Amino acid sequence: MKLNAVILTIVLALLGLMSSVYVVAEGHTAIVLNLGRVTRTDIEPGLHFKWPLVETVRVFDRRLQVIPADPERYLTSERKDVSVDFFAVGMIQDVRAFYRATGGDEEMAVKTLSPIITDSLRNEINSRTLSQVVSGNRSQVIGPQLDTINKGAANIGMRIVDLRIKQVDLPTDSDVIKQVYRRMSAQRQQVASRLRAEGEEQAQGIRAKADRDSAVIMAEAERDAQKLRGEGDAEAARIYGVAANKDAAFYAFQRSLDAYRETFKDGNAVIVLDRNDPFLQYLRSDK
């Protein structure tokens, strides 16, 4: 019996020791609740002790976390409708206030922060034009609102260190996107018309230059051809003269044959000449 009592005592002591020890990981913090009432907060990472049964521990992640948000629709200063997709980066700064405001529920913290962030962004976007929101420096849109957002976030023990706009879209059910598409189409048509005009101007210049070059080439070719024909005629005349000087009778006979051939080549030529005409001298038969 005494042995059993000793064993039971040891087991109870071990259970009591195990239930009184807790560990806080690096990057985390904890609070200790005594029968539901906060007694100790901001407990550092490491091994700690608590009273078993009467005290409980809640551990929270104190590192930076991404706080998601659904895209929201805003109106710009010229009453243009835009959809803004964003997210926040924040952390727990005051764990006591965080627990009291949310009961340690992170989803409740996100729901509490979302309207604070969206309202702050609304004030900033409402004061800017669509061009400034879409193509401007987005940090200028976000920066002035961080202080305002953190004043509201402090009520739940949170601090927002950064706010990022992921995307700015024109809602598909809005006339703005149609106007933007029409403006983009008009701009592209203007660019296309300008390029076509420049291309036509260049083409006309190229065609004009080609026509000038062609005229010059043809004139030079005709000049060279006439020169060559003149040289050829002169050379032919020289050759004929040399041939005539060597044998005048044969030269006259050859020229007459050429004349006959040219005159009667179609077989239907009719000429009327005197029978003693010199042209017929080589056609007569002397008996």
Let me know if residue 209 belongs to a domain.
no
77 and 18, same structural domain?
Answer: no
55 and 153, same structural domain?
Answer: no
Cβ-Cβ contacts under 8 Å for 51 (sequence gap 6 or more): 20, 34
199 and 131, same structural domain?
Answer: no
Domain CATH for 124: 3.30.479.30
253 and 267, same structural domain?
Answer: yes
187 and 127, same structural domain?
Answer: no
Let me know if residue 275 belongs to a domain.
yes
pLDDT of residue 279: 59
69 and 108, same structural domain?
Answer: yes
89 and 151, same structural domain?
Answer: yes
Q: Is 46 left (phi over 0), alpha (psi -120 to 50) or beta?
A: left
Per-residue tens of pLDDT for the chain, all 287 residues: 565 665 656 655 555 555 677 888 888 888 888 887 888 888 888 888 887 778 888 888 888 888 888 888 888 887 777 888 888 888 988 888 898 888 888 888 888 888 888 888 888 888 887 777 776 666 666 767 788 888 888 888 899 888 888 887 776 655 656 666 777 788 888 888 888 988 888 989 898 888 888 888 998 888 888 888 888 888 887 877 777 677 666 666 677 667 767 776 776 766 665 666 665 565 555 54
73 and 153, same structural domain?
Answer: yes
Let me know if residue 260 belongs to a domain.
yes
Let me know if residue 243 belongs to a domain.
no
Q: Which two tokens stand for residue 265?
A: 């080549």
The DSSP symbol for 72 reads E
97 and 54, same structural domain?
Answer: no
Domain that holds residue 14: 2-61
Let me know if residue 236 belongs to a domain.
no
Let me know if residue 223 belongs to a domain.
no
Reduced 3-state DSSP string for 214-252? HHHHHHHHHHHHHHHHHHHHHHHHHHHHHHHHHCHHHHH
pLDDT of residue 121: 83
Let me know if residue 234 belongs to a domain.
no
pLDDT of residue 76: 80
Of the residues 61, 78, 101, the one at which a domain ends: 61
pTM: 0.51
Helix (H, G, I), strand (E, B) or coil at 272: coil
Helix (H, G, I), strand (E, B) or coil at 113: helix
Of the residues 171, 192, 213, the one at which a domain ends: 171
Beta strands 81-92 and 158-169: pairing type?
antiparallel
- How many domains is the chain partitioned into structurally? 4
123 and 36, same structural domain?
Answer: no
Most distant pair of Cα atoms in the chain: their distance: 181
pLDDT of residue 9: 61
pLDDT of residue 277: 60
166 and 179, same structural domain?
Answer: no
pLDDT of residue 57: 84
pLDDT of residue 173: 56
Of the residues 39, 61, 83, the one at which a domain ends: 61
Q: How far is CA 60 from the centre of its chain?
A: 43
